[in-house]
Each structure stands twice: as structure tokens, then as C-alpha cells.
Amino acid sequence: MILPGSTIGVLGSGQLGRMLALAARRSGYNIHVFSPEANSPTGQVANREFVAAYDDLDAVRQFAQSVDVVTYEFENVPLATAEACAAIVPLRPGAQALRVAQNRLREKTFFANNGLPTVPFAEVHSLADLRAGLMEIGCPAVLKTAVSGYDGKGQIKINHPDEAAEAWQSVGEVDCILEGWIEFEREVSMVAARDVNGRIAHYNLIENAHHNHILDVSVAPANVPPQVLAQAEAMVQTVLTALDVVGVLCVEFFLCEDGQLLLNEIAPRPHNSGHLTIEACVTSQFEQQLRTVCGLPVGDTTYLRSAAMANLLGDLWDFQRKGAKGQKEQRKKSARNLRQSAKSADKSPDWTAVLTDPHLKLHLYGKKSARPGRKMGHLTALADSVTEAEKIVRGARGRLVIE
């Protein structure tokens, strides 16, 4: 067991690392973080920030030598970086979970090989593959790059086979997965943890609403029939066990009209949908990550109350600067112009609109610049029902955009 006073190493330095660091430091652990970014969201609350490229393996080894265990907070950390750490200290979850999660083709093949229901899919390495895949799967379908995609980046919906060439070009002619388009009823996720002794604890199903492919609002516990929850529990157990995970992992599902769950993707780390566990549960997903990577038993995941979480995206900062009309016009500009004009979008919303509400918890990630679509923070509210909690967070976020 790795006990307080020890040092946890984190690969990646975003908000997930930051919230892990806050949980760890509260319990007397030290945090060292490694990423190419200085004064990062995690670095700001860590004991030590290693700033170097992920492929600078000498720097990676120096970092690993300074800690007792290494974990990662995003799945696009190069495998070689994680493996260089694993040669020096325990890496939790291991390289296998990372390997599967960072490539959509490997991920969906892993589901299929383990009897886990998922969306119809085909491998695409050329335009000919894409055309063949569209014949097999039908339209609409969605073409996603096999690696490096997140929050809807690197994916394009195809409504007609004639769009194949354009879609193939737009994703950059790289290895892809083609998926059948699912008319799901709802999207749900299950955050779970597995300890060194193989004990599993989960946070029930969390219901997620997306906007522009980015998570917008989550509520928990999701209102689903007991057989849906049982289905999810069994599938999550299969994933955690097959990947021999020691740590936290989230499974995202599509819930279909007929009650069938399909696995969409996995993330071998705490997840945006689990942020509400900080206030809502006896043990948050970040404490759970800390406990499991330190070799401690999984903590109690009981919900104290129903909860809702609303993401705060960079668009809110931009809104303050430009106003509603300006923002609408700006949205119409090309992506490049949008990025350039957003560089100066650093005026924060007026937080009094949310901080004067006694039910709300405000989390800000310390990011230096706001960009449309960038996750800058979130709001959480607890209530007697998820409906009430959702009303509180949506209402509060709405107040931030009223000039």
C-alpha cells in the first residue's frame, strides 16, 4: 500500500489531473505532474511540475524516478511514455487499458472479442474501404479517426454514399473506423473502479446530454429500469477484468429504445460525467482513483443525494466579451478565424450570478485562455431529485449568459 507522504505521478496536466491532485493533497499525498505545458491546471496545484515533450524519455524517466506510482489523466499519452514509467514504478491502470482506449479500432475490436454489444463498425484504411463499409453498414453512418479524436473532433456524419470521398478527405485520409449511426434514446455512462484485489465499485448509471458532441449536462443516478443497470454492471465488470484495470475507468453507452445498451467508448480514467461524484458521493471518482492506484481498497460510492453537473465552456467567456449578437456572428466564421479571435477572449463571466445561489458548487480549472468548446469549469448542484438538481444547474448557467 502506498500511504500518505508518498508521491503520485500523473501523466497529463488538465482538469482531471487537477481534481486528482486536490483529492490527493487533502489526504497528505504529494503530486508530481508531467506534460509539455507549464503552469497547467494540474501543475498549479501539484508539488512539482515536469515540463517536457512526451517523447523526451530521459525526462520521463526522471519524472518516474521521483514518484511511487504513475497514473494518467488522458488516454492520448503515447504508449512509449507510459511504458517507460512502468519500467520504473507501478503504472495504474496499466499500459493495456491505455493501448485499447487510445485507438477506436482496437477498442471496438476488444468489445467484439469480449462479447460486449457495440455499434456496427468497419475498418477504414482507404476510400475503397470506406465505400465498402458504407455498403455493409448503410447510411447514416459516422466516420471517426482511429486515434486522437475527442469531443466530436475527427469525426464526420455521412448521410449518403455520395459523400464518401469528401468525408475521407475531411478526416485527413488517415486510419478510421466507420460506425453505424445509432438513434439512441439516451446516453449514459458508468464510472467504476477496481482495486488491486479485484474488487469493483461503481457510481450507478449517469445520464448525459451532449451539445455539439461535447458533454453538456450530467445527472445521477439515472432513472433506468433495474435490468438496464444490471446489464451495465455486468458489462463494466467484463471490461475492468479483461483489461486487468487497477484504477478508475468509465464506460459510455448508448441506451436504445428497446432497453439494449451498446458500448460506445471507454476511458481508463475519471470522466467528465463523474465530476458530480465530488459533492454527491461518499467517495468521489478522484478519491477512488487515488485509493486504487495506491493499492487501497475501493471506497464507498453511495450517493448522498441526487445530483446534476453542467459544463462551463469557453463560449461563456467569449459571450461576455462579444455579447449574444457578436457571438452568433462569430460562430459563422471559419474555424481558424474563430481560434484567432478567441485568443483574447479572457474576460470571465460574472460569477456572482452563480455564487449567490446557496445550492451551487463552482469548479474552475485555472486555464489561462478561453476558447469556444474548451472545458473551463463546471457547476454542480445536489437536490432531492435529479429533475430539481438539473433545473438548478441549467438555470444558473443560463444566468451567466444574460447581459
Binder to ligand AMP among 211, 213, 331, 347 (CB under 6 A)? 213
Burial of 336 per CB tally in 10 Å (0-12, 13-18, 19+)? exposed
Half-sphere exposure of residue 70, counting CA atoms within 13 Å on the CB side? 28
Q: Please name the helix (run of DSSP H) or strand (run of DSSP E) that holds residue 310, with its range, or none.
A: strand 306-313
Smallest CA-to-CA distance from 63 within 91, 102, 101, 44 is with 91
Binder to ligand AMP among 30, 264, 272, 306 (CB under 6 A)? 264
187 is a contact residue toward ligand AMP (CB under 6 A) = yes
303 is a contact residue toward ligand AMP (CB under 6 A) = no
Q: Please name the helix (run of DSSP H) or strand (run of DSSP E) that holds residue 72, with its range, or none.
A: strand 69-72
265 is a contact residue toward ligand AMP (CB under 6 A) = yes
210 is a contact residue toward ligand AMP (CB under 6 A) = yes
Q: How far is the CB of 85 from ligand AMP (least distance, A)?
A: 26
145 is a contact residue toward ligand AMP (CB under 6 A) = no
Binder to ligand AMP among 49, 179, 287, 315 (CB under 6 A)? 179
207 is a contact residue toward ligand AMP (CB under 6 A) = no
Q: How far is the CB of 212 from ligand AMP (least distance, A)?
A: 9
Which residue, 117 or 152, is less far from ligand AMP as judged by CB? 152
Q: How far is the CB of 150 from ligand AMP (least distance, A)?
A: 6
Give the span between the Cα atoms of 358 and 340, in whole angstroms: 37
Cell digits of residue 109: 475490436
Smallest CA-to-CA distance from 268 within 96, 84, 17, 25 is with 96
Binder to ligand AMP among 44, 88, 139, 152 (CB under 6 A)? 152
125 is a contact residue toward ligand AMP (CB under 6 A) = no
Following CA atoms 324, 326, 328, 330 in sequence, which dihedral angle do they give, to the nearest 10 degrees?
-150
Site string for ligand AMP, 244-263 (x = CB under 6 A): --------x-----------
| Rounded alpha-carbon distances, angstroms, from residue 398 to 196, 359, 363, 371 | 43, 15, 16, 19
Q: How far is the CB of 389 from ligand AMP (least distance, A)?
A: 21
Contact 107, 100 (CB under 8 A): yes
Q: How far is the CB of 284 from ligand AMP (least distance, A)?
A: 23
182 is a contact residue toward ligand AMP (CB under 6 A) = yes
Binder to ligand AMP among 119, 228, 239, 267 (CB under 6 A)? 119
Contact 214, 223 (CB under 8 A): no
181 is a contact residue toward ligand AMP (CB under 6 A) = yes
Which residue, 85 or 119, is less far from ligand AMP as judged by CB? 119
Which residue, 266 or 345, is less far from ligand AMP as judged by CB? 266
| Rounded alpha-carbon distances, angstroms, from residue 150 to 76, 190, 212, 265, 373 | 10, 18, 12, 11, 12
Q: Under rule CB under 6 A, how many of the chain's residues touch ligand AMP?
A: 13
Contact 235, 263 (CB under 8 A): yes
Cell digits of residue 392: 438548478
142 is a contact residue toward ligand AMP (CB under 6 A) = yes
Q: How far is the CB of 383 from ligand AMP (least distance, A)?
A: 25
107 is a contact residue toward ligand AMP (CB under 6 A) = no
Give the span between the Cα atoms of 277 and 203, in whole angstroms: 8
Residue ranges of the alpha helices (H) in 285-385? 285-293, 315-332, 335-342, 352-355
Which residue, 35 or 273, is less far from ligand AMP as judged by CB? 273
Contact residues toward ligand AMP (CB under 6 A) are 119, 142, 149, 152, 179, 181-182, 187, 210, 213, 252, 264-265
